[in-house]
Amino acid sequence: MDKTAFFEKIRSATDTFKEAAKTPLPEWDKLELSSHQQPAKEQSDQLWKAFQERFKAVSGETVEGLPALAHFLKEANATHGYVAPKLAATVGPALKEEAIEYEIEFQGTRVDDYAFGITRAAGIIAETGSVVLKESSTASRLAALAPWIHLTIVDAETRRYATLYEATTDLGDDPYVVFATGPSKTADVEGILIEGVHGPGRQVCCRV
């Protein structure tokens, strides 16, 4: 069968569905299903602890405070990388204490020069141990996904979600949203799991 005949069969088979009505959405009040208000501090701490547990289960790593972040990079021998411009004033002094150099503009032509990338997390999801990255809070998606070590800052601006549903109903109008659940992973047909093939090999969250 040639290509034209093949696609003609597909068209004729799907023509019968052209007049079919779309399935209506359920009649629910979305405001009753979830709230996107930031949780109280006690609940925020509980969500962070639940996130830590699940993040660790998917090979993610967490640190507390900027000195710990800088020490982590020093121990990893990651002495040059990228910091999102809006975070430079906050993160920069701690990095300088450990003699760690950074740039605030990510050059795609020099991608191998960056051992780490530091960006702000738009949100964290306790249920799945996922970090939410959005264009509105992640200055450079390439800087977040290309270096071997990606560190996300969890601060007062970071949303805390209890469930994946809450996060997916609070996407906003960003042109892209990334849910990062630990380091990138892939497996071949023999079931051998390899981390860091098409993204960060180490995914780290730092609460400040």
Checking if the pLDDT of 186 tops 90, the result is no
Contacts of residue 46, Cβ cutoff 8 Å, sequence gap at least 6 = none
- State how far the Cα of 124 lies from the Cα of 132, in Å rounded to an integer: 6
pTM, to two decimals = 0.76
pLDDT at 41: 65
- Give the number of other CB atoms < 10 A from CB of residue 157: 13
How much is the pLDDT for 130? 95
Whose tokens are 């090999």? That residue is 201
Using CB atoms within 10 Å of the CB of residue 25, give its burial: 0 to 12 exposed, 13 to 18 middle, 19+ buried.
exposed
Please state which of the ranges 9-18, 42-51, 140-149 shows the lowest mean pLDDT: 9-18
38-73 pLDDT tens trace: 566 668 889 999 999 999 999 999 999 999 999 999
**Contact (Cβ atoms closer than 8 angstroms) between residue 11 and residue 132:** no
> 3-class DSSP state for residue 208?
coil
CA gap 121, 206 in Å, rounded: 10
Among 28-32, 39-43, 106-110, 116-120, which range has the highest average pLDDT?
116-120
pLDDT in tens, 157-171: 899 999 999 999 888
The H or E element spanning position 48 is helix 41-57
Single-letter code of the amino acid located at 132: V
What are the start-end ranges of the E strands in 22-167? 61-64, 80-83, 101-103, 116-120, 123-125, 130-134, 149-154, 159-161
